[in-house]
Amino acid sequence: MEEFKRLSRDLVAHGAILDYYQDTIRVPNGNVVKWDFIKHNGAAAVLAVDGEGRLVMVSQYRNALERYTLEIPAGGLLTPQEPTRDAAIRELKEETGYEADSVELLLTIRTTVAFCNEKIDIYLARGLTAGSQHLDEDEYVQVKAYTVQELTERIYAGEIQDSKTVAAIMAYKDKYRGEM
pLDDT for 82-137, tens place per residue?
999 999 999 999 999 999 999 999 999 999 999 999 999 999 999 999 888 777 77
| Res 178: pLDDT | 66
pLDDT band at 180 (very low <50, low <70, confident <90, very high): low
Sheet holding 32-40, edge to edge: 5-14, 18-26, 32-40
58 contacts 71 by C-beta, under 8 angstroms = yes
pLDDT of 15-29, one tens digit each?
A: 988 999 999 999 999
pLDDT of 46-56, one tens digit each?
A: 999 999 999 99
- 41-179 CATH: 3.90.79.10
For 16-52, b/e burial (b = at least 16 CB within 10 A) is eebebbebebeeeeeeeeeeebbbbbbbbbbbbbbee
| Res 1: pLDDT | 78
pLDDT of 60-86, one tens digit each?
A: 999 999 999 999 999 999 998 999 999
Q: Which residues are catalytic?
A: 137
